[in-house]
Amino acid sequence: MPALAVVASLLSLTPSRSLMQQSVEAPTPKALADLVARCDQINRFAMQLTAVEENRIAALAAGILVMRQVLDLPLIDPEKLPMRQGRIQHWALTGGHLKEAETPAIHSVRGQLCLDEHEQVKVLSHRTWRGQWRSVTLWKSAEHKILPASMMEFLARLTELAQKRAPDAARALLARSEAVTATHALLAVGPRSRGG
């Protein structure tokens, strides 16, 4: 019974009057108007910054689409995508030889980032045991927990990687071109005559 008496005494305690009657200073109308104006500026700046980030990500994605050969981005097999998505080409941005460009936020994505032929960054997720992706969604920071700053950093790293690889890619093309030129002397100078 002593335990019940302790619980009963604890329940009967009331906060002291001084805690209950603390005065709360209400802001003056001018201070309130200033606060609303500041919050409005913050909201406007946040919206403008989001728009700038989205434009920058779109520009980087468009550039990376052009750089896909230099980066050796693997084309995703259309059979591995849902039917509607399989009609357009998608290139893998993660899960392969570009791990060095991945940031911790990108590495922690549950699924695979890819780029489609319309320059859109997408997230492939919910993979089946047969290796097919059930879900393909456009990247959105709120849905995929990748902040725009992290996405920009990742795409900028891919761009930097393309810049490093471009000279080697150009040299390989030059070597192919020289091989084609070297075979020119082996070809007949004019059209062959059919008659004898």
**DSSP 3-state helix, strand, coil percentages of the chain (rounded to 5)?**
55, 10, 30
Position 104 in a domain: yes
Q: Which pLDDT score, from 0 to 100, does residue 166 have?
A: 87
3-class SS at 7?
helix
Domain count of the fold of the chain: 1
196 in a domain, yes or no? Answer: no
For residue 60, give its domain range. Answer: 37-167
pLDDT of residue 156: 94
Look at residues 97, 99, 95, 60 and name the one whose alpha carbon lies nearest to residue 80: 95
Phi, psi of 52 (to 5 degrees): -65, -45
Residue 151 lies in a domain: yes
Q: Is the dihedral of CA 157, 82, 145, 142 positive or negative?
A: positive
Q: Are 127 and 121 in contact (CB under 8 A)?
A: no
In a domain, 143, yes or no: yes
Residue 192 in domain: no
Tell me the backbone φ, ψ of residue 95, rounded to 5 degrees: 85, 20
Q: Per the confidence metrics, is the pTM higher than 0.75?
A: no
**Max avg pLDDT among 12-26, 98-112, 177-191:** 98-112
Tens of pLDDT, residues 6-32: 444 545 555 555 555 677 777 788 888
Range 56-81 burial, b when 16+ CB lie within 10 A, else e: ebeebbeebbebbebbebbebeeebb
pLDDT in tens, 119-144: 999 998 888 888 888 888 888 766 66
Q: Does some domain include residue 131?
A: yes
User: What is residue 105's predicted lDDT score, i.e. its pLDDT?
Assistant: 86
Question: CA–CA separation, 70 vs 168, rounded Å?
Answer: 9
Residue 188 inside a domain? The answer is no
Decide if 119 is inside a domain: yes
- Could you tell me how many residues make up the chain? 196
